Amino acid sequence: MVSNGDAMRGATAVVGVADTEVGRVPGVGSAELCVDAIRRVLDDTGLAASDIDGLITCNSMVSPYVYHAEMIAEYMQIFPKMCLTVNTGGGTTVNTIALAAATITTGRCDIVVIAKAENMATGLSRDQALGLMAAAGHPQFEQPYGAPIPAMYALFASAYMAHYGVTSEQLARVAVSARRHASMHPGAQMRQPITVEDVMNSRLIADPLHLLDCSLVSDGGAALVLCSAERARDFPNPPAYVLGFGEGHSHEHLSQAHSFTESAAQESGRQAFAMAGLGPDAVDVAGIYDCFTPVVLIELEDLGFCKRGEAGAFVEAGEIDLGGSLPVNTHGGLLSYAHPGNPGSMFHATEAVRQLRGACEERQVADAEVALVHMQGGILSSHGTLILGTEATR
């Protein structure tokens, strides 16, 4: 008997990726950035806009629309069979890829575009940005205490560090690695190398998190094109096959979290590896959601790349750097490439595809055949894990 996971493994592929300009992109709204991403990804594939018969987007927080995907379709004057707006925070990218894969596999659509964009840096005033950060908590049990998003993640960081003896210097190494990788990416928002001392001496935001432990605030967007494996070889660039994916959901509000040292990445990772028929040792390069430095350590352990309590030493030893055993966030991640809100995780996916294409130049991981992308939304709440592979792994 063939399971649904067996049927989905390698049945679809990502055949197009594109990023917009990132950082501060003044005078361009979120809708324009989203359309720009779609036009760029069509250029990457050689498709016409009229070829899109499935469109999945994520709504803008700066300029929200009631029907976001339909608005983007109208803007481009395309008429897909499916328009869908999805929001599970930073995990949306994996969830939408899973939806696109299912839609293609069942024959509903042939060409599905996923596009996300936001102008958090130039579209919000300082007060508006602070207001969004303070609105993440439960309106009755958390918001009255005034904790913004960095303070909520600082609770996870403090618990994790206390339980396992992880140091602030080890957290800082995550930021240093990300910046080193970003320095090799011509499109990254922050490219000036930093040291552990720079991170430790940067302004304290929410103890134990310093400014450089925290992700950027950016404008930017990205888009992906998926199609069936049968069609994938017809496109200009090597396809990245969807080998496995999974979701994990542990809580929505911080006050309801069951653990402050583990996350539902364990469940999303288990599902993804099971579908792919692979284990952590098979992964050549990873994109791991890095909204704050301690999140990377927790997720490395949850996904099985390290034993409990060993991620700090793993990072300190340079294992997540280019040349290490598991290069992580070779584009610079949310800490140094860009973080425009929910679309930030798209850049982890576009980088993973480029790594499998062998198109990353000086930041290329040699002989990369399997890439893992892990993303999460909320306060370590909703998790999605994706495993992509080259033709050789399908």
Catalytic residues: 289, 337
With 0-12 / 13-18 / 19 or more C-beta atoms within 10 angstroms meaning exposed / middle / buried, residue 125 is exposed
Residues 6+ apart with CB under 8 A from 258: 250, 251
Whose tokens are 């539902």? That residue is 264
Please answer whether residues 97 and 386 qualify as being in contact, where contact means their C-beta atoms are separated by less than 8 angstroms: yes
- Calculate the alpha carbon distances from 314 to 158, 180, 262, 328 in Å: 19, 17, 17, 12
Structure tokens that stand for 201 in this block = 């001496």
Question: Residues for the chain: how many in total?
Answer: 394
User: Which one-letter DSSP state was computed for residue 113?
Assistant: E
- Calculate the alpha carbon distances from 35 to 19, 97, 113, 135, 387 in Å: 11, 19, 11, 28, 27
- Per-residue buried b or exposed e for 223-258, using 16+ beta carbons within 10 Å of the residue's own CB: bbbbbbbebbeebebbbbbbbbbbbbbbbebbeebe
